[in-house]
Structure 1
Amino acid sequence: MTSAAVMHRAVAGRQNMLQLVQLRWLAVAGQLATILLTEFAFGIALPMAPMLSVLAALVLLNVASLTAVRRGSSITNVTLLGALLLDVAGLSAQLFLSGGATNPFVSLFLLQVVLGSVLLDRWSSWALVVATSIAFAILTRFYLPIALPAGFDRSLFALHIQGMWVCFALVAVLLVMFVTRINGNLRAQDAVLASIHRQAVEEEHIVRIGMLASGAAHELGTPLSSLSVILGDWRHTDAIAGDPELVRDVEDMQAEVQRCKAIVTGILLSSGDPRGEASAATTVRELFDRVVADWIAARDFQALRYQDQFGDDVPIASDVVLQQAVFNLLDNAAEVSPRGMDVLLSRNDDELILAVRDQGPGFPAEQLANLGKPYNSSKVELGRGLGLFLVGNVARKLGGTLSAANMTSGGAEVTIRLPLTALELKEPA
């Protein structure tokens, strides 16, 4: 089971326990009102002390359940089954003290069965069916009969029918409230599962891209090394060494080959662990100053305005994957905004913020709605739309977010937010 699925299951367990807690509060209030009404309005004597003690035990159970949820304790299927069995025990005790199976509120056992069928695994649901059936059977033989005042004997059947009506109304109201809430939870859980599935598909896509890039980088390594050797030999030949113009051409070619080799090395490094042995200590300002300067030099793009409002510098690791993500972000902005762009580095508490603002036409609404998905681009060329997809996944892997918006003044703003803790240099084990 993936970590996302485990987290989803833990959240679902806590939500289900909260549902039980809320229903138990209603049950306690309903039982208290019924006991007081029966005792003081109808004058039917009940064993008040034991029945109120059962209600107090249910209140303590609710307090313990809430404490467990707030502490983040694991709420498993067995935990929920135990809570429902305690509810069955509490209801059985109240019925034992008030007429057993002759009490019209014995139908409340069905509410426990319905709750179990929705909240529990299959075997646990059947276990609850067995428990309630056994409790009902026992209450047909063992219970404390209700001592009715004089005159109630003639209207006993009508009183029983009224009790059944109250029980039916109570069960109907509780079921509607419960099922409505559960449906909301199920829709939220379906949305979470869909998000997990989409993320898995995207990560599989990234793995394939990484494998292709790594394979291409390995294949390019050999011809680039051969070109480097050949150019070195050419530079020392008499025909070229005696011509300054040819020497400059060879030097330019050697520089470009070295640049290609550096790119290939970066791809190979990125296909592995970006926080491994290749990571070097740096700071936020040093890293982003260098990345922006390298991008300007590589693209010969002089219309970039860089503002550093980060504040106090922080030591971090020099992350090759993050650098490539920033390159992709700047490439996208430069493509739609050749007249210029603004890059702002800032900080919000322990969060790094990098905003890139261009002067282009902005994002179409459909592209904004699907930000971060592969091949989500307004361009028709094959393979477009991977830049922001890769940037978004880098941000997500580092625990951050990628967002985009069209500005009212024109152009668009793409923002990366990263927790500084994710950029810390990890000490070797």
Structure 2
Amino acid sequence: MISFAPRENLRLLCIIRALIVGALLLALIWAHKSLNLLLNLPALGSILLVSALLTLVTLWRLRATTPVTQPELFGQLLFDLCSLSLVFFFSGGATNPFLALYLVPLSIAAATLAWPYAWAMLLLCVLSYGVLLFFYVPLAELYPQVRVVGDSTRMAQMHVMGMWLTFVVSALLITLFVVRMASALRRKQQELAANRERQLRNEQLMAIATLAAGTAHELGTPLSTLKTLLREMQLDYASNPDLSRDIQCLLEQVNLCRDSLNTLVSRSRDGQPQPVEVTALLERLLDRWRLMRPEAEIDLALEPGLDAHHTLWDPSLDQALLNLLNNAADQSPRIALQARRDGAQLQLRVRDYGKGISARTAEHLGELFFSGKRDGMGIGFSLSQATIERLGGQVRLYRHPEQGTLTEIILPLTPGAQ
């Protein structure tokens, strides 16, 4: 299988270059000793020496931690193309039997680099071969034209032109099919990596769910006790309006905790997600959120006609959306929520007016137990993302061009409701 790690590709390129330099060196020695060809040995030897030195320098460079980029790999292949062209120039040009070596950097570029680099390498290889048809140091032993005249000379020229056309067709086919195969393999590797990451995250979430179930069982009794005591205090201090309001606020928070625990239990019992009316979902969600965050303000913009559409819902979706609203409210006391239909999808956009998502947070976004907040647990966004993706949706975060962070939530609309 083709490797797409740039550092490994560069190391393999060095090995291939060393093999080609060794093969050309042996060919030069054989041509000079056995065939008595009149070659420009100083020029050819200098070219091979520079190639060998670059190989050693590149291997030394690979010891550093600096990442290998595609432009760097393309530059290395471009050097190989130039060095081969110089070798062919001093050894018969288009009549050199080793011209097929042009296919080596071309194949590597097509297999490892993005398609613009591959097609650029194809163009350069074809142009280099074409230039060698007219500009080169001729060798009488390789090109019959210097020894014959008339129709034989014309036939020799046609033979060389035919070789060039064959090379062009072969190079075009190799580039076309290798680029497509490499692109397909890249996509497959990316999908496999995404699936592995998703599986690992699901395993971690399952472990959290197991702990949460035990915690829910343990918290049931203390919450019931708190609720009973608060009701008794409400009766005892009914004559104190300020204290009664505080006790009522505490009762509402305890009820929210109880509702969350009940949702957790019902989530484990429920089966498939059910369709729910979009407007009813958002109204119920915002009523619950306002109880949780009475100090926060929200600017709501609902597209007309959303009440005629449905989206898939299960109890965990409420918590996922609440987490995202709370994340926004943690950044600024005023947030905005926009809901609209986008084709067969429901688009929710939550904006805060804080400092915006930092580069460090964006880099680790979605990782469990990483939080950009000082007192955060690092599981809220991951849980929300996992829930929404399980329902066929997506979550994306952007840095708003004016101020704050924009959270975009995509949920599918049920087919029967469109």
Place the TM-score, normalised by the shorter chain, in its bin: 0.5 to 0.7
Q: Which residue of 1 aligns with 2:323?
A: 328
Q: Please point out which of 239, 260, 280 is paired with 1:263.
A: 260
TM alignment of 1:192-271, pairs within 5 A: 192-228=191-227, 231=229, 235=232, 244-245=238-239, 248=244, 256-271=253-268
Distance verdict in 2 for CA 1:422–1:356, change over 3 Å: farther
Secondary structure at the counterpart of residue 351 of structure 2: strand
Q: Which residue of 2 aligns with 1:45?
A: none
Secondary structure at the counterpart of residue 265 of structure 1: helix
**Contact 2:252/2:291 (CA < 8 Å) preserved in 1?**
no
The one-letter code matched in structure 1 to 2:282 is F
Distance verdict in 2 for CA 1:273–1:408, change over 3 Å: same
| Aligned mates of 2:367, 2:225 — CA distance in 1 | 39
**Contact 1:352/1:420 (CA < 8 Å) preserved in 2?**
yes
**Contact 1:211/1:271 (CA < 8 Å) preserved in 2?**
no
TM alignment of 1:61-72, pairs within 5 A: none
State the shift of 1:203 in Å. Answer: 1.2
TM alignment of 1:39-118, pairs within 5 A: none
Q: Which residue of 1 aligns with 2:22?
A: none
Distance verdict in 2 for CA 1:397–1:310, change over 3 Å: farther
| Aligned mates of 1:184, 1:296 — CA distance in 2 | 49
Secondary structure at the counterpart of residue 313 of structure 1: helix
The one-letter code matched in structure 2 to 1:410 is Q
State the shift of 1:300 in Å. Answer: 0.6
Matched, 1:371 2:365: yes
State the shift of 1:372 in Å. Answer: 2.7
Distance verdict in 2 for CA 1:240–1:381, change over 3 Å: closer
TM alignment of 1:295-374, pairs within 5 A: 295-314=289-308, 316=310, 319-338=314-333, 340-374=334-368
Structure 1 stretch 367-376 or stretch 183-192: which is displaced more?
A: 367-376
**Contact 2:394/2:409 (CA < 8 Å) preserved in 1?**
yes
Cα deviation, 1:118-156, whole Å, max 9, x if unaligned, reads xxxxxxxxxxxxxxxxxxxxxxxxxxxxxxxxxxxxxxx
Q: Which residue of 1 aligns with 2:144?
A: none
| Aligned mates of 2:340, 2:183 — CA distance in 1 | 39
Distance verdict in 2 for CA 1:165–1:308, change over 3 Å: closer
| Aligned mates of 1:335, 1:274 — CA distance in 2 | 33
The one-letter code matched in structure 2 to 1:367 is T
| Aligned mates of 1:381, 1:244 — CA distance in 2 | 36
State the shift of 1:202 in Å. Answer: 1.1
Distance verdict in 2 for CA 1:366–1:253, change over 3 Å: closer
What is the aligned length? Answer: 262
State the shift of 1:378 in Å. Answer: 2.7
The one-letter code matched in structure 2 to 1:321 is S
| Aligned mates of 1:370, 1:312 — CA distance in 2 | 34
State the shift of 1:351 in Å. Answer: 1.0
Distance verdict in 2 for CA 1:297–1:274, change over 3 Å: farther
Q: Which residue of 2 aligns with 1:393?
A: 386
TM-score w.r.t. the length of structure 2 is 0.52
State the shift of 1:227 in Å. Answer: 4.8
| Aligned mates of 2:366, 2:298 — CA distance in 1 | 24
| Aligned mates of 1:302, 1:173 — CA distance in 2 | 62
Secondary structure at the counterpart of residue 244 of structure 1: coil
Q: Which residue of 2 aligns with 1:75?
A: none
TM alignment of 1:285-304, pairs within 5 A: 285-304=279-298
| Aligned mates of 1:176, 1:182 — CA distance in 2 | 10
TM-score w.r.t. the length of structure 1 is 0.51
| Aligned mates of 1:219, 1:186 — CA distance in 2 | 49
Structure 1 stretch 187-196 or stretch 257-266: which is displaced more?
A: 257-266
| Aligned mates of 1:310, 1:240 — CA distance in 2 | 43
| Aligned mates of 2:234, 2:349 — CA distance in 1 | 48
| Aligned mates of 1:273, 1:242 — CA distance in 2 | 41
Distance verdict in 2 for CA 1:376–1:256, change over 3 Å: closer
| Aligned mates of 1:305, 1:264 — CA distance in 2 | 29
| Aligned mates of 2:400, 2:335 — CA distance in 1 | 13
Secondary structure at the counterpart of residue 405 of structure 1: strand
| Aligned mates of 1:304, 1:381 — CA distance in 2 | 23
Cα deviation, 1:277-324, whole Å, max 9, x if unaligned, reads xx6x75211110121122112211342111111524235465321111
| Aligned mates of 1:242, 1:178 — CA distance in 2 | 83
State the shift of 1:381 in Å. Answer: 4.2
| Aligned mates of 1:252, 1:377 — CA distance in 2 | 28
The one-letter code matched in structure 1 to 2:199 is A
Distance verdict in 2 for CA 1:274–1:261, change over 3 Å: farther
| Aligned mates of 2:288, 2:374 — CA distance in 1 | 29
State the shift of 1:352 in Å. Answer: 0.7
Unaligned segments of structure 2, at least 5 residues: 1-155
Aligned-residue RMSD, C-alpha: 4.1
Q: Percent identity?
A: 29
Cα deviation, 1:152-200, whole Å, max 9, x if unaligned, reads xxxxxx9xx99x9799957777556544443332222211111111111
**Contact 1:231/1:250 (CA < 8 Å) preserved in 2?**
no
Unaligned segments of structure 1, at least 5 residues: 1-157, 425-429
